[in-house]
Structure 1
Amino acid sequence: MSERPPGADRPPATAIPALDDPGRLRSLADTGLDAAPDEAFERFARLVGDLLDVPVALVSLVTDTRQFFPGAVGLPEPWAGRRETPLTHSFCQHVVDLETPMVLPDARLHPRVRQNLAIAELGVIAYAGIPLTDLDGRVLGSLCAVDSKPRAWTAAQLRTLADLAAACSSELRLRIALDGAEEARRRAEEAHDRLELLAGLSETLSRTLDVDTAVSRLADAMVPLLADWALVTLVDRARQPRRATGVHRDPTHAAGVVRFAELMTTRLGPHSVTRTVLRTGQPVLGGAATVADLKRATDDPEMVALAERLGFASHLTVPVPAPGGAGVMGSITLINGTGRRPFDDSDLRTAVEIGRRAGQAVGNSWMYGEQRHVAEVLQHSMLPSLPESPMVELAARYQPVADRVEVGGDWYDAFVQPDGDLMVAIGDVAGHDIEAAATMGQVRNLVRGDAFGRTDPVHEQMSRLDAAISGLRIPAAVTATLARLGPTADGLAVSWCNAGHPPPLVVTAGGAVRTLGGPREPLLGLSRPSPRTSRQSSLAVGDTLLLYTDGLVERRDRPIDETLAELVDLLADTARLPLAELCDLLLGSPQRREDDVALLAVRAR
């Protein structure tokens, strides 16, 4: 037969209500002690053993489920190694219950403890235990002397034990006070960090008008300062989750929290905390939580398993209100695992303020996104469809500045004349507002209306355009290039006129790049129209004519000659690129653009 393990077949411990007192358990936790030797309390145990001449002396602290010994002398194995026992082996729990010393010459004769397994398995026969208390008088355990045979405790021994217990209680109180001071310091630092977070949050979120970027920065700012992991959820117009972003403090959980965020948009039930907050606009604090709470919120086992891995012991969720009180745009959820304290009302107040500031930032981003979409639709509605021509292949692009909602004045145009020639134009009206866009539309229509069906030189057409802008009092300064392309025996003849615009470029079929230069004539719309001239060139089969606006080459901190040279270098050996890829290459620069860009590429067939 195998040896019976310690404590097997033990009788159940008698319920002692005092053990469950929350204040007492909180003081125990604040000591910072556990089932490990502590030199100060080891010293108390040695003093008891020496002064009372007992084989076993213990500093015993009692929780609601066990007793543990930060100071111990003479315990038999395996208890000496474990430094704790269950309550079935505890005499000290009765000291906590009685709140007075417990002195037993022979425990086997005492009805309260004679069935206690400490008698058989720890050899506790004679016992003397004096309460160890905190500043509020709550009994945390006892300082006890133990003998393995009956013993008549003398008054002098009990007085010595009481004096040592008083000193031991003082040490416990000091530990609690130090822990309280440390907790106060930590709380002060935490409060300072939160104030800094709140102070910088608006600025952090205001640095972008992109919703996705704003939400990502928000989640990153909260972890790990406020929580182990966080989720930011945005809603659609029906207040249903449409997008969620998750961040975890542990990089190894990055994929897990992203997957959890994905599932939040489709797998949360109507009674989940997130949907409740989105529906009511009221915050919810889950100071203590288990995965069972999540099981009530979703029937998806994957979400439950992910939450277990990510850590789910406490949570809170607050709304992200729309500016002006126009409902809820989303929610913020903070989650802590078991290794971090539960959320409290202070955390909730901080999170509510974060939600309010996030609402302002995300609201601005949303408004910007809608305005930008309207602006881009308006801008593109003013740009023409490219015509079909047997002489050439055409491609065009328009790229607005990434962080601006205003429509611009950049434009391009191409149309076929009745005789088959191709007219191409590109221009830029000064300004970045609705007036510039409207003026751009007027100028483009003037070019079409005046040039269509006419065969006179392009400089005369440019002069009439200049006169029309002045005569119609169109308040604009305009740069433009106008060109006419017609067939020749070995390619195309090109006649162009440039009014203050960046020079056209030609990429030859062999890969060389040349500039269609000459002095740039004054821009259009000045108080007195200027004389205009036409210039001539040609395109061989496979050559590409490139027209572009200044946003492609102008930089505030660099001369135009440098950036034009870089553009020429970029175009070298691009003759074989399809026109669409060539345009994408030119617009794909990693450098941040400062102005809108329009491109028109024409390749001779």
Structure 2
Amino acid sequence: MSEHGRGRVSVPIPALADPDRLRSLDETRLDAVPDEAFDRFARLVGDLLDVPVALVSLVDAERQFFPGATGLPEPWAARRETPLSHSFCQHVVDIEMPLVLPDARLYPRVRLNLAIEDLGVVAYAGMPLTDLDGRVLGSLCAIDSKPRAWTKEQLRTLADLAAACSSELRLRIALRGAEQARRRAEEAHGRLAMLAGMSETLGGTLDVTTAVDRLGHAMVPLLADWCLITLVDPAGRPRTVTGVHRDAEREADLARFAELLTTGLSGESQIRSVLRTGRPAVRAVAGLDDVARGTTHPDLVPLADRLGVGSHLTVPITAAGDRVIGAVTLVNRQGRRGFDASDLRTAQDIGVRAGQAVGNSRLYGEQRHVAEVLQHSMLPALPAVPGIELAARYLPAADRVEVGGDWYDAFVQPDGELIAAIGDVAGHDIEAAATMGQLRNLVRGNAYGRNDPVEDLVAHLDRAMGGLRVPTVATAVLARIRPADGALRVSWCNAGHPPPLLVRADGTVSVADGRGPLLGLARPPRRTGRTLTLAPGDTLLLHTDGLIERRDQPIDEGQADLLAHLRAGGPGVPLDLLCDRLLAAAHQWEDDVALLALRAG
């Protein structure tokens, strides 16, 4: 060790670097600043031993510092610390015994110490200051600038004061330990609360992106300063990586880091190892070298530097059969404690719960895709009819497990008339979608080629559903549209469905009322038909209740909102644009939505 350029070399003392001793020293929470309790001990030593300088000196691996001091010359009095080149107290730590020197210049151990020249230390008496386990943290020392024969009474007084000073140090350490225990208890309680609520948090959605986002925010900052969640494709390769950081200003850096990580993992990557083996990995102390070894893209290391890396752990996300479908990585920055076995157990529990949520989300997505394909396959292409403009829309619920039984239909009769229908089958699953297909086919088979009044067609549909045992109840509007004197005459019958809306060419809006009982009742009711006329430019709008139904308001309010939106749109809105606007206005729809609009040309 250099002696500050003066050509003097000191031999390193191993005891100074003992990690347990340094940990205990750190737990005193003392530093090179005045502390009233320890300044009092220094003053007592100065008064009782009649010495010009007295110190409470604590020694770490690189310096000694003085939370208690009296009589130090400047600049040391202001600094409250010296390098080890100026330390006699380091030898008290080394020998773990009192060090008593009547004239330091005569002792080989210290005669070259710079404290003699720079601080005027000649006579020195230092008593060990210890923690509860007997580790020496420093010394309580008396110093004179001239030789001195220390008496037994002086050394006994110094030893008694050192014992009292050690008790104060132990109290500080105990308080720190109690504080740490309280913090650990709070952390444990927070983790238990998080784990208890995680199933509900993750189970509240069946969208993978939402589930991953909720997972990240549940873990940060409670468990880590930032996290990464990696999901793999069927071949086990990273498909998506997302993350959450406790500092909002680091979001862009983390998003870029996650993006590059999908293709930037090297063969030594901890994440790749966990994905391959299914075994967790922990680095209690880590740094940028770990990032450099585990990645291949040059931008990842500087990004990691800005995000902060002090320790990290990675656990697998496992689905049914212990199949690894991803990994959770927790990262702490420097200054926060490294991850331990308790953190690992918590993270593994999270990995299992995340696997259940992601697995359920993927299964739901597959089932929903099947149902949507089935449903869309049953929704027809609209026919081209002279003098009638047609537009239709179908949209499944925004965030639902189920795909419903909403449907619409429009087809041309042999005589050129148009039959239009819209309906909703009870239920929200693949069975409902399949039943919807049956009902739509029944409507077509029941109406095609027949000239009966629409109310008779609906009555016959009731009987067909009962006779064929179609296992549902449903709502529907069936309408027949035929040209009449330059306009369109519409005959319609409503079976328990939201009523059609009439938007006149001048922008006025009205409800074509006249709702009847549901389809599929055990005792089919008598059906009633209605008629209306569409002048050129007039629009008839048929819709399912998903357009107006909200969980937090009566359906009448939803219908009033829809009417107000139609009125605000003004006259002459193109039919496709009108349908798009209606769906956009219902941006938080909670049920499937079907629309069928027709306009007189």
* TM-score w.r.t. length of structure 2: 0.94
1:366-394 deviations in whole A, cap 9, x for unaligned?
A: 22222222211211111111222342332
Contact 2:404 2:432 in 1 (8 A): yes
Matches within 5 A, 1:357-396: 357-396=353-392
Tell me, in whole angstroms, the C-alpha distance in 2 between the residues paired with 1:159 and 1:530. 110
> What's the counterpart of residue 550 of structure 1?
545
The code of the aligned residue for 1:40 comes to A
Quote the RMSD (CA, aligned, Å): 2.3
Distance in 2, Cα, partners of 1:273 & 1:47:
57
Aligned equivalents of 2:431 and 2:182: distance in 1?
Answer: 59
Change (3 A) 1:247 1:124: same
Letter in 2 for 1:136: D
Deviates more, 1:379-388 or 1:451-460: 451-460
One-letter code aligned to 1:514: S
Task: Please report how far the alpha carbon of residue 248 of structure 1 lies from its aligned counterpart in structure 2 after TM superposition.
Answer: 1.8
Opposite residue 72 of structure 2, the aligned amino acid is: L
1:276 alignment counterpart:
273
Relative distance call for 1:495 and 1:31 in structure 2 (3 A) is: same
How much has 1:304 moved relative to structure 2? 1.4
Structure 2 partner of 1:334:
330
Gaps of 5+ in 1: 1-5
Are 1:508 and 1:544, in contact at CA under 8 Å, matched by a contact in 2?
yes
In the alignment, structure 1 residue 264 sits paired with structure 2 residue 261: yes
Q: Give the match for residue 505 of structure 1.
A: 501
Structure 1: how far apart are the matches of 2:524 and 2:140?
A: 105
Match of 1:58 among 55, 58, 63: 55
Q: Cα 1:576–1:68, aligned 2, differ >3 Å: closer, same or farther?
A: farther
**1:242 paired residue among 239, 243, 268:** 239
Q: Name the structure 2 match of 1:11.
A: 8
Deviation at 1:102, TM superposition (A): 1.5
Counterpart of 1:152 in 2: which secondary structure? Answer: coil
Tell me how far apart the structure 1 counterparts of residues 553 and 309 of structure 2 sit (CA, whole Å): 54
Q: 1:544 and 1:10 mapped to 2: Cα distance? A: 100
Counterpart of 2:486 in structure 1 is 490
Q: Deviations over 1:79-100 (max 9, x none)?
A: 2222112211211111111112
Shift of 1:313: 0.7
Count of aligned positions: 598
Deviation at 1:600, TM superposition (A): 0.6
1:437/1:124 CA distance change after superposition, 3 Å: same
- Superposed, 1:506-525 pairs within 5 Å as 506-517=502-513, 519-525=514-520
What residue identity is the alignment partner of 2:521?
L
Letter of the 2:599 partner, please give it: R
Matched, 1:430 2:426: yes
Q: 2:339 aligns with which of 343, 349, 352?
A: 343
Residues 375 and 142 of structure 1, relative CA distance in 2, 3 Å threshold: same
2:594 counterpart residue number = 598
Secondary structure in 1 aligned to 2:263? helix
Using structure 1 for the length normalisation, give the TM-score.
0.93
Query: Which residue of 2 is the match for residue 318 of structure 1?
Result: 315
Instruction: Tell whether 2:214 aligns with 1:226.
Output: no
Deviates more, 1:368-377 or 1:151-160: 151-160
**Residue of structure 2 aligned with 1:92, choices 89, 100, 108:** 89
Structure 2: where are the runs of 5+ without partners?
Answer: none
Q: Aligned partner of 1:177: which letter?
A: A
From 226, 231, 248, the counterpart of 1:251 = 248
Between the aligned partners of 1:262 and 1:80, the Cα distance in structure 2 is 54
The DSSP-based 3-state class of the residue aligned with 2:159 is: helix
Kept in 1, the 8 Å contact 2:547–2:586? The answer is no
Alpha-carbon distance between aligned partners in 1 of 2:170 and 2:568, rounded to the nearest angstrom: 82
8 Å CA contact 2:206–2:400 kept in 1: the answer is: no
1:334-383 Cα offsets, whole Å, 9 max, x none, are: 11112211111111111111211222222222222222222112111111
Range moving further from structure 2, 417-426 or 199-208 = 417-426
2:490 aligned counterpart, secondary structure: strand
Cα separation, 1, equivalents of 2:440 and 2:26: 78
What does the per-residue CA deviation read over 1:389-424, in whole Å, with 9 as the maximum and x for residues that have no partner?
Answer: 342332212223334333322210112334433221
Q: Which residue of 1 aligns with 2:440?
A: 444
* Aligned counterpart, 2:464: 468
Shift of 1:505: 1.0
- For residue 592 of structure 1, report the CA deviation from its aligned partner: 5.2
1:45 equivalent in structure 2: 42
Q: 1:83 to 1:558 in 2, by over 3 A?
A: closer
For residues 71-82 of structure 1, the aligned pairs below 5 Å read 71-82=68-79
**1:474: Cα distance to partner?**
2.6
Which residue in the other structure is 1:3 paired with?
none
Supply the AA of the counterpart residue of 1:76: P
Q: Is the 8 A contact 1:429 1:478 kept in 2?
A: yes
